[in-house]
Amino acid sequence: MRVRILKDEGAVARSVASQVAALIAERPDAVLGLPTGRTPIGLYAELRERHAAGEIDFSRVRTFNLDEFLGLPSNHPASYRTFMDTHLFRHVNLPRRYIHFLNGMAADAAAECRRYEAAIRKVGGLDLLILGIGANGHIGFNEPTRSVKANTHRAKLAAGTRRSNADLFGGRASDVPREALSMGVGTILRSRQIVLIATGAGKSAAIRATVDGPITSRVPASFLQLHGNVELVLDSAAAGGRRR
């Protein structure tokens, strides 16, 4: 696993935005996997600015988000789709038909998960998947449990994950859905390239376990050790105080 430690979260955002820009310049129809959460907000701001400056053309890019809450319509203020509209999609020239999202309102969740896997396959797989990480080592909504799921699936949220998503719901963790749809660990590992971003001391234990710990379903991010092209881009706090 390659690990890059940068000064602060601004440097992480700028560096990963440059990687995304370079990929799109080289492959204008790149397929991106995208995360939500506080961590990528700076990255999305950078991408918006670079698009406004004429530096990134999203007109042929395809995107697949990692996960979505179960039971929320896409236009719900707390949905991950709304988050993406607010922070990125509304501001760039990404055609709506190229934006792929799990539908949290699907009547048949299993069929919706199969549809998503098929849609990813149909475009030839993900070129670059950007990931955040939960303080408990989750990726997407693959929470620490006795086993991991390979493919896109219906997932139960850990209590701590519901608390850390409470901001989207006016601070009320009890309003955060108990379940979500999420890419599986296999879906994630099939991406040709993975960049995991983490900032702040709250992530340092999860990062340590991801990099140095055993591969275990108790730390879903540890499965990234099995991937041949994964990079962790961290600020020094998430790296446990280590400097670059």
Catalytic residue numbers? 67, 136, 138, 143
| Least distance (Å) between residue 78 CB and ligand GLP | 12
Q: Does 141 bind ligand GLP (CB under 6 A)?
A: yes
| Least distance (Å) between residue 71 CB and ligand GLP | 15
34-49 in b/e form (b: 16+ CB < 10 A) is bbbbebbbbbbbbbbe
Rounded CA separation 40/198 (Å):
9
What lies within 8 Å, CB to CB, of 76 at 6+ separation is: 82
Nearest by Cα to 151 from 130, 121, 171: 121
Q: Does 177 bind ligand GLP (CB under 6 A)?
A: no
Give all strands (DSSP E) within the chain, no chain letters. 2-6, 31-34, 62-65, 67-69, 99-100, 128-131, 153-156, 179-182, 193-198, 230-235
Bridge partners of 32, per DSSP, are 63, 128
Minimum CB distance to ligand GLP smaller for 60 or for 193: 193
Contact at 8 Å (CB) between 244 and 7?
Answer: yes
Contact at 8 Å (CB) between 47 and 144?
Answer: no
Minimum CB distance to ligand GLP smaller for 58 or for 80: 80
Q: Which residue is nearest to ligand GLP (CB)?
A: 132
| Least distance (Å) between residue 223 CB and ligand GLP | 15
Site for ligand GLP in 29-88 (CB under 6 A): 35-39, 66-67
Enumerate helices (H) and strands (E) in the chain, giving the number of each: 7, 10
Q: Does 133 bind ligand GLP (CB under 6 A)?
A: yes
Place of tokens 């053309």: 57
| Least distance (Å) between residue 132 CB and ligand GLP | 2
Minimum CB distance to ligand GLP smaller for 27 or for 156: 156
Minimum CB distance to ligand GLP smaller for 104 or for 134: 134
- Neighbour-count burial of 134, counting CB atoms closer than 10 A to its CB (0-12 exposed, 13-18 middle, 19+ buried): buried
Site for ligand GLP in 145-164 (CB under 6 A): 161
| Least distance (Å) between residue 93 CB and ligand GLP | 25
Among positions 63, 82, 152, 165, the unique one binding ligand GLP when judged by CB under 6 A: 165
Minimum CB distance to ligand GLP smaller for 23 or for 40: 40
Binding site for ligand GLP (CB under 6 A): 35-39, 66-67, 132-134, 140-141, 161, 165
